[in-house]
Amino acid sequence: MRKPTLKGLHKKTKDTVREYIRLRDRDTCQRCNKLVYGINSHPSHVKPVSTHGFLRYDELNIKLLCFHCHRNFWHLNITEAAEWFKHRFPERAKYLTLQGQRTHQWKPWELEELIEEYKGKIKELEG
């Protein structure tokens, strides 16, 4: 049996986290409360992955938005979006404020552990 590549593990981790976020947020845009499915469903990072790579798969750094809220609110109204997030998710905002900027070189074993962790969380939500 072949070992999965790092790229393959990142894809599997991303897909598993996306499924968890979708279930956690009940397929509902966290801003406008519309039900979202398929390409209209956008798991969106609060802190950008480019500067906070270690938060890439942190469930507290991801919220589900519809396409419109993701593109036309979150990315175009940064100050207003940040205030909305602080008001809507005060504990998550506080946690993320305490996280410094740093990237992270993910190791295969770390990704495998995250996949298993999120699969467990998915089972809990589905069960």
pLDDT digits (tens, 9 = 90+) for 56-86: 999 999 999 999 999 999 999 999 999 999 9
Q: Does residue 81 lie in a domain region?
A: yes
Asked if the structure places residue 118 within a domain, the reply is: no
- The total domain count for the chain is 1
What are the residues whose beta carbons fall under 8 Å from the beta carbon of 15, sequence distance 6 or more? none
**Residue 117 within any structural domain of the chain:** no
Q: pTM for the full model?
A: 0.92
- Residue spans of the chain under pLDDT 70: none
Which residue reads 């993910």 in tokens? 106
In eight-state DSSP terms, residue 5 is: P
pLDDT value of residue 3: 80
Q: What is the DSSP letter of 22?
A: H
Ordered alpha helix ranges (H), 1-127: 6-24, 67-68, 78-88, 90-97, 108-126
Asked if the structure places residue 3 within a domain, the reply is no
